Amino acid sequence: MGSIRVDYASERFMIIYEGDDSGMGANSAYASGNEKKTNPSMLSLVIKDGILRRQQDIDGQIVKGWAVRVFESKNPVVSVSAGNDYGKEPFESQPAYGHHLVLVASPDPAKTLATIDSEQWSNTLVVVQDRLRWLYTQKGVAYVAVYADHVGGLRGRSKVHPHLNIVSFKVIPPTVNDEMESYKRTQEKRGTCPTCHIIEGDDQLRRVLQTESFVAYCPWSPTYPFEFCIAPKRHAVSFAKMSQKEIEDLALMIRATLGGLASLIKNVTFSMVFHLSAERKSSRLMHWHIEVYPVTKQWSGMERGYGIHLNDVSPEDAAKKLGASCRKELANMVGIG
């Protein structure tokens, strides 16, 4: 396992990582029946007689009939077996220490993040909560990142089996650290949470969809065309403390918005990233939210070299088109379409 290199000018993090294609294509190692191709499950969620049961692979006995399955990645970004070598400036580095878990969101390789149903998303989110709580009891865990990638037509690769990555770090990643600092400064300056201000303010032109407990909206200054965020309507800093009712509502929101995005932009590639507070006592807690980044075009030198993003669709137009597609998706889901 390698190290985390820290850029001497921007303090950007970089890990040399060969990638993992085991969840790609029709012969996905993540599919039901291929469990021996992965590490043993540390948690398998099985639905029996309408009841969720938590099981795990033990002594070669593989849990069958699972709905959601979690195991340690065979090709991890970070590892608990990482060395203890640190590099000094200007070649600063630190061990890539941590846990890298793969959460398979469906046993069916024909499904995608945009087509698994809301009940399956609810089961997935329950497991995310469970692993977050567990990871924050482990040694050397300062932050847990949760993200998923869906590969569409842009990259010309096989379809990815629906799964999430749950990765822990000994330090808070730079983007999240900067966001936490920004939240803290804004709250001290204005006396209000930036996300609450957006949700409660007059931003209807960029609102995509809302449910009982959550709202989806396109940000004022997006990095990507059709980028959107999902956030709790009430101020919430702990994802792990969500109630079951809120989990079910969030599952409905995620399924409706990802389904709406996939319907609007055929073969779209996107990443879904959970921006969560560290589940520890801290003065730098932020209103947690999920960010979805559709990749509809290649970046230019302006984006890559200067950090100024050029979008060919305004967030207001994106919200209008995406909102119509998501509302149609939601109506079909609840049987009123």
CA distance 285 to 283: 6
Query: pLDDT, tens digit, for every residue of 299-317?
Result: 999 999 999 999 999 999 9
Which H/E stretch holds residue 262? helix 244-264
The CATH number that applies at residue 224 is: 3.30.428.10
List the beta bridge partners of residue 52. Answer: 47
CA distance 86 to 174: 18
Answer whether residue 154 shows pLDDT above 60: no
Query: pLDDT, tens digit, for every residue of 121-141?
Result: 999 999 999 999 999 999 999
Chain-centroid distance of CA 336 in Å reads 29
273: tokens are: 């990233």
pTM higher than 0.85 for the full model?
yes
Backbone dihedral angles phi then psi of residue 295, each to the nearest 5 degrees: -105, 100
330: tokens are: 């939601």
Burial class (CB in 10 A: 0-12, 13-18, 19+), 313: middle
| From 20-29, 70-79, 315-324, the region with the lowest mean pLDDT | 20-29
Amino acid residing at 283: S
Span 183-191, mean pLDDT?
85
9: tokens are: 């000018």
Q: Nearest-CA neighbor of 66 among 133, 127, 149, 134?
A: 127
pLDDT of residue 192: 84
The residue that leads in pLDDT, 81 or 315, is 315
CA distance 204 to 209: 10
Question: Per the structure, how many domains does the chain have?
Answer: 1
Which H/E stretch holds residue 287? none
Domain extent for 215 = 3-333
Q: Nearest-CA neighbor of 287 among 202, 194, 210?
A: 194
Angle at 133 between CA 241 and CA 126, to 5 degrees: 65
